[in-house]
Chains A and B, each alone.
Chain A
């Protein structure tokens, strides 16, 4: 085995220079940004791609015969091709532009549910899901009479796979789980989850919102049926995301929204739908978003996803070790495989108080339930303080966090 390259080999300072917002201050102190799991900052090339698109290329896509419209269409479709490479999807038309992970899951829940779910069917979720991978299923369950079943979470933040095997049954029609937990950082064993579901002929949706910034994704190797992620967590613009769906599913599913772009022929008696992917992209799409997302995904692939993952894993290890030296500090989520985030509490100090003091020190962390209330109930806590990493975070950021937490503890105890 090759020795792992050292942290020093990763050009974090060079990458960091690409992010204008990281050069600013907050409350008079140089910004330490440790909330990338909520939304990452944007590199120069994404900002330039957006600016360039609106300045020189903008027109509506797919309909114009004139050159500018064709150039805009090309820029939009180039974004899709880059996203296809990012996911290693087999076909461009399996890659749909959506507003983000939330819309992606709502689309699958609504379209799949309308066609395939009936009274007595079951949808299998897990106890560590973000509300975005719970509520859309509740809506369609209510409409169809299907039931939601939940794979429990173990004390260390891993899923109980034995329980999963038992819950997978004749009534299961869909398995929808997070690839990586946004609150605990757990990397779920998605290969096994998918294999077990497929053994019973059940399709799987992965919520990849927290995986896309930190890991290499290969939807063909995973053999996953649906994969969703948001652009703004992968250094791209807000308001754009990707839903990957296997072609056989996307061809089967009814459209989610009706409108322009998604039709082949409209009469008042009957409408026929456009080919994939346009069938699922009603209305004028977020063209600049697609261009910006393409630039962001290309930036991530150029920086090297293995290198980013390794850098972040080392930061996570460094942070965890240093946090655990603080008296009374407990880490939530101690799974063997983790990515991107560390959640903690110190004694009975409320996350809001910790977050307020850290804010004064120029350190941006997230506090609260992180849109995973069932998971907080599982651990019997109101919320946590969560530090999360991006490709641009440094050991100095972590050192400032540790000093800040110690200071907050002194003030609040």
Chain B
């Protein structure tokens, strides 16, 4: 599935939730189920510092697609990371670099991707796209 198709799928999933509690309970569940980043990557070099929560991110090529793995010390941040990985992991680097991640806004989680939140997510999205751009350049 393309980045756009996966985003549409997530938006449809979230349409079922009737209130904020159901939505957050789902995000918390996602946070619990996130495949953990390999511990060797959970180091200073993979750390994205946020004032409120910390995020670790690793990317590698798998054939002609990029695989992301990530973690955070806060579970709601992890849940949102799980959504970002669902959208961007397994996609070709060029598509990642150009991705318009509109789903965050549509499912009402925009505030978590606000720079003032300082949870590391804004920097993480930037970093994921940067990986896309860089890996696409290497491919060429």
Contact = CB atoms under 8 A, between A and B. Distances in A.
| A, B assembled together | yes
Interface of A: 27, 350-353, 355-357, 360, 367-369, 382-383, 411-412
B101 interface: no
Given A382-B73, A412-B75, A352 B24 contact: no
Contact of B76 (A353, A368, A369): A353
A350 B76 CA distance: 9
B7 interface: no
Contact of B24 (A350, A355, A357): A357
Given A368-B52, A412-B28, A352 B20 contact: no
28 contacts: A27-B20, A350-B53, A350-B73, A350-B75, A351-B52, A352-B53, A352-B77, A353-B28, A353-B75, A353-B76, A353-B77, A355-B52, A356-B24, A356-B76, A357-B24, A360-B20, A368-B51, A368-B52, A368-B118, A369-B51, A382-B73, A383-B52, A411-B21, A411-B24, A411-B25, A411-B28, A412-B28, A412-B75
A348 B6 CA distance: 33
A352 B28 contact: no
Contacts of A353: 28, 74-77
Contacts of A357: 24
B91 interface: no
Interface residues on B, range: 10 to 19
Of the candidates A27, A383, A411, the one having the most CB atoms from chain B within 10 angstroms of its own CB is A411
B89 interface: no
Contacts of A412: 28, 75
A354 to B, nearest CB: 9
Given A351-B52, A411-B21, 5 more contacts: A350-B75, A353-B74, A353-B76, A357-B24, A411-B25
A367 B118 CA distance: 11
B100 to A, nearest CB: 25
Interface of B: 20-21, 24-25, 28, 51-54, 73-77, 112, 118-119
Closest 9 CB pairs of A and B: A350-B74, A352-B74, A352-B53, A352-B52, A353-B76, A360-B20, A356-B76, A353-B74, A353-B75
A382 B53 CA distance: 9
A367 B51 CA distance: 10
Nearest to B112: A356
A357 B118 CA distance: 16
A199 B104 CA distance: 61
B123 to A, nearest CB: 15
Contacts of A351: 52, 74
Nearest to B54: A382
Contacts of A411: 21, 24-25, 28
B19 to A, nearest CB: 9
A360 B53 contact: no
A372 to B, nearest CB: 13
A378 B125 CA distance: 32
Nearest to B25: A411
B24 A360 contact: yes
A412 B21 CA distance: 11
A360 B53 CA distance: 18
Given A352-B77, A353-B76, A367 B52 contact: yes
Contacts of B21: 360, 411
Contacts of B51: 368-369
A323 to B, nearest CB: 21
Contacts of A352: 52-53, 74, 76-77, 119
A214 to B, nearest CB: 26
Contacts of A368: 51-52, 118
Contacts of B52: 351-352, 355, 367-368, 383
A307 B118 CA distance: 38
B55 to A, nearest CB: 11
Nearest to B19: A360
A382 to B, nearest CB: 7
A228 to B, nearest CB: 24
Contacts of B75: 350, 353, 412
A383 B77 CA distance: 16
A369 B49 CA distance: 13
A371 to B, nearest CB: 10
Nearest to A408: B24
A383 B53 CA distance: 9
B71 to A, nearest CB: 12
B80 to A, nearest CB: 10
Nearest to A28: B20
Contacts of A369: 51
A24 to B, nearest CB: 18
Contacts of A355: 52
A412 B112 CA distance: 17
Contacts of B24: 356-357, 360, 411
A367 B50 CA distance: 13
A360 to B, nearest CB: 5
